[in-house]
């Protein structure tokens, strides 16, 4: 019995020493999400340097357009909120946000329509390929 208790104590001490890290647990660093500017720069570099298929190039150009609109929207939003100042009410902030969204929604809707057309063409090509088999 004495050997058993000694073994348990030895295992407990060894395991506590093995997993102890300076008395506290360090959390691993979370990866940082790239900013819009970094994403735009990266996609622009890929489009310039790489030899890409037409399909991949079209996707990246569309993604670049969406990121550009998002960047413009954020800049306009910051500018509008700076104009309004801190003394405004929540309702005024919501109204300003709503007008900005409406002004940028046309550009995004144009991109969505273009993307849907491409999707529908691909769907039709798949159907034609499936009928030929």
End-to-end C-alpha distance for the chain, whole angstroms:
77
State the total domains in the chain: 1
Q: Per the domain annotation, does 23 fall within a domain?
A: no
List the domain range (segments joined by +) for residue 65.
34-132
- pTM value is 0.62
Q: Could you report the per-residue pLDDT of 90-120, keeping only the tens digit for each?
A: 898 889 889 888 888 888 888 888 888 888 8
- On average, the pLDDT of the chain sits at 84
Domain assignment present for residue 24? The answer is: no
The three-state DSSP-derived secondary structure of 48-107 is HHCCCCHHHHHHHHHHHHHHHHHHHHHHHHHHHHHHHCCCCCHHHHHHHHHHHHHHHHHH
In a domain, 74, yes or no: yes
pLDDT in tens, 60-78: 988 898 899 899 999 998 9
Q: Please report whether residue 4 resides in a domain.
A: no
- CB of 26 within 8 A of CB of 9? no
């Amino acid at each position: 019995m004495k050997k058993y208790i000694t073994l348990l104590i030895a295992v407990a001490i060894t395991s506590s020493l093995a997993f102890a890290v300076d008395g506290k647990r360090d959390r691993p660093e979370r990866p940082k999400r790239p900013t819009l500017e970094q994403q735009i720069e990266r996609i622009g570099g890929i489009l310039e340097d790489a030899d890409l298929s037409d399909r991949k190039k079209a996707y990246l150009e569309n993604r670049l357009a969406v990121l550009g609109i998002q960047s413009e929207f954020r800049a306009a939003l910051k500018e509008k909120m700076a104009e309004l100042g801190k003394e405004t009410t929540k309702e005024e902030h919501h109204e300003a946000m709503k007008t900005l969204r409406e002004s940028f929604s046309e550009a995004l809707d144009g991109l969505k329509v273009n993307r849907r057309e491409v999707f529908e063409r691909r769907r039709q090509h798949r159907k034609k390929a499936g009928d030929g088999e």
